[in-house]
A and B are shown apart, each in its own frame.
Chain A
Amino acid sequence: MMHLTLEFGGGLELLCESVKSHNVDVVLESVGEKEGKLVMRDLLCWVKTNLIKERPEMFLKGETVRPGVLVLINDCDWELCGTLDAVLEEKDEIAFISTLHGG
């Protein structure tokens, strides 16, 4: 069981019933743990099943996030942490931000 804080911004929160911040407990067995670790690939699957209530295609494309969605793990671009293979730890904060609106 891993406690994580997930944040949705830039309009993505509309897919999660307009809730921006979610404190979640992810049960490792339910996401096919590999060597006892939770990776982003598994978390995305979990999010799609448990948090995304509408229009999943705005969030996911295949097994990764839709292009234009920024992903941050503890305020660090996930591209610098291994993207889908980034290993998650207890109390990590993961943010998903859509860049659709430039403002």
Chain B
Amino acid sequence: MASSCGGSGGGGGGCGSQCSSLRDSPSVVGEEGNEILEVVENASVSNGHRSILRCSKCGEETAVYNKLCLDCFRSFLYNKFKVSVTSNAMISPVDCVLVAFSGGPASRVALQFTHEMQLKSQKNWDASKDQQQPLPVFGVGVAFIDERAFYSANNSEIDEAIEEIRLTVSTLFPPAKQLYVEPIEKLFSLDLIEGKARLRKLLDTIDDPTGKDDFLHYLRAISLQKVASENGFNKIILGSCTNGIACHIISSTVKGQGYSLPADVQYIDGRWDVPVVLPLRDFVARDLIMFCHLDRLRTCQIFHQSECGINYLVSSFLTRLQEENPARVRTIVRTAEKLSPFGFNKYKEYISDDMVPSRLRSKVQNLRASESAPLETLCPICGTPLCDSDLVNLKNRKCQVECDVFVSYCCASCRYQIVPKEEDSFNNFYSLLPQLFTRRVKNGLHVDHNQLREQVEEFLLSDDDEECGDTA
């Protein structure tokens, strides 16, 4: 039955209010009227107690959610996931993907469906290896970033939750998947006690609560990059869903990060060493939570968002908006989609044509043929592409001291809410900052050094002038 709200057939979230209004108005005529009659006919006669609605897709099983039975709801979600992955060429047969798993419903679904795709791929391999050249099966690993050092949290509860995660991952075979539990303080030191101390000292230098919250987000992202690079993964799958992305859109706008906003809301984010993909971008939390419950996929919220700062405020605001109209988060994401993405948000992987699904081959070939987009300069803390005013600030810098050079590469937002302004705090901050951040400047992040030198030549001190000072 065609969806009466014009959205994806019969099941997509975000059509709640319109659909129920149609159900409540039996006088609607025409196509919509026929649909209402169809619903009434499909409903089996009540057994005297509670009426049962049949699934609008298969017509056989009892409808449990959005007029679909569990099997059809599962198929709907899984097919939507598959389309998201294949039409954006997110996973190629030679990839090793790392699924970031937080324990929550969205990343649980991402993990489940990635596993199911891998399993199908494995079955195809097993079935066809004697006959033709089968496509290899992509590898899957799972990463959980243990953030307890950031919070004062109950250790035993977290350990129990991690054991549950281990159990969950162990049930997802064949093929078996490796779980990486990475304490976030490992970014600071291999010795976790020292790492935790350094992390906490660094956080103490950041006054702004939103800055602290955002910094945790960047630490998490860098941790995932680290786990992926160290263990041979070439893609990271994030379970970010429509609700989280809508929060990010509003928060970024509020924080004056409008220029870089498109970078974070696309299916593909290729600015990192290990590209990040978002297959659940168009899934609403309501559907994911409902599916986890109905399909008995165990989830838990292990770490709770800090309740101070802009991010929490925006999250509460969006909760209120959703109460009035559940479709709001989709509208917000669809609006942000109208912003032009960056070059690194496009599929750019250089693998042989055989590995690309045939319907995408011409798209890939066109992309390769077209001029590559100019490389962006990225902030070493948050990875944001620098806007024009940030670039001017960078070009006009006169310093040569390493820590000051670092700051000049930072975006305005990080300079405002993360980088300490007071000198002692700043020196502490920079000395404690993990190398994974500071070396992004030394490696000349997406900047051609010779070109930059030419641009700033007139501002540089010549060799016979007094030097600024030694490096930190």
Contact = CB atoms under 8 A, between A and B. Distances in A.
Contact of A97 (B62, B243, B244, B289): B289
Contacts of B107: 103
Given A89-B49, A103-B285, A103-B288, A72 B293 contact: yes
Contacts of B239: 103
Interface of B: 20, 49-51, 53, 62-67, 70, 102-108, 239, 241, 243-244, 285-286, 288-290, 293-294, 299, 301, 319, 322-324, 326
29 contacts: A9-B293, A10-B289, A10-B301, A67-B324, A68-B286, A68-B319, A68-B322, A70-B290, A72-B293, A72-B294, A75-B64, A75-B293, A76-B62, A76-B65, A77-B65, A80-B63, A82-B51, A86-B50, A89-B50, A95-B293, A97-B290, A97-B293, A99-B285, A101-B104, A102-B241, A103-B107, A103-B288, A103-B289, A103-B301
A98 B293 CA distance: 11
A101 B106 CA distance: 10
Contacts of A73: 50
A87 interface: yes
A79 interface: yes
Given A75-B294, A102-B105, A103-B102, A67 B322 contact: yes
Given A89-B50, A102-B288, A103-B105, 8 more contacts: A68-B322, A75-B293, A75-B294, A76-B62, A79-B20, A81-B51, A87-B49, A102-B241
Contacts of A95: 293
A100 to B, nearest CB: 6
A66 B326 CA distance: 13
B51 A102 contact: no
A41 to B, nearest CB: 14
A56 interface: no
B323 A68 contact: yes
B64 A76 contact: yes
Interface in A78-97: 79-82, 86-87, 89, 95, 97
Contacts of A103: 102-108, 239, 285, 288-289, 299, 301
B245 to A, nearest CB: 10
Nearest to B245: A102
B411 to A, nearest CB: 26
A66 B107 CA distance: 25
Interface in A23-81: 66-68, 70, 72-73, 75-77, 79-81
Interface residues of A, number: 26
Contacts, number: 82
A102 B67 contact: no
| 6 closest residue pairs by CB, A with B | A103-B104, A102-B285, A67-B323, A102-B243, A103-B105, A77-B65
A103 to B, nearest CB: 2
A102 B62 CA distance: 27
A82 B51 CA distance: 8
A11 B301 contact: yes
A72 B63 CA distance: 12
A72 B66 CA distance: 12
A95 B292 CA distance: 13
A67 B325 CA distance: 9
A93 to B, nearest CB: 12
A100 B244 CA distance: 11
Nearest to B102: A103
A67 B20 CA distance: 14
Contacts of A66: 323
A44 B432 CA distance: 53
Most chain A C-beta atoms within 10 Å of own C-beta, residue among B50, B106, B241, B243: B50
B160 to A, nearest CB: 14
Nearest to A102: B285
Contacts of A89: 49-50
Contacts of A68: 286, 319, 322-323
A45 B183 CA distance: 44
Contacts of A72: 64, 293-294
B50 A87 contact: yes
B218 to A, nearest CB: 20
Given A75-B294, A89-B49, A99 B286 contact: yes
B26 to A, nearest CB: 15
B104 A102 contact: yes
Contacts of B51: 81-82
A99 B244 CA distance: 12
A102 B106 contact: yes
Nearest to A66: B323
A86 B50 CA distance: 7
A31 B64 CA distance: 27
Contacts of A79: 20
A84 to B, nearest CB: 13
Contacts of B294: 72, 75
Contacts of B243: 102
A87 to B, nearest CB: 5
A101 B107 CA distance: 12
A89 B46 CA distance: 14
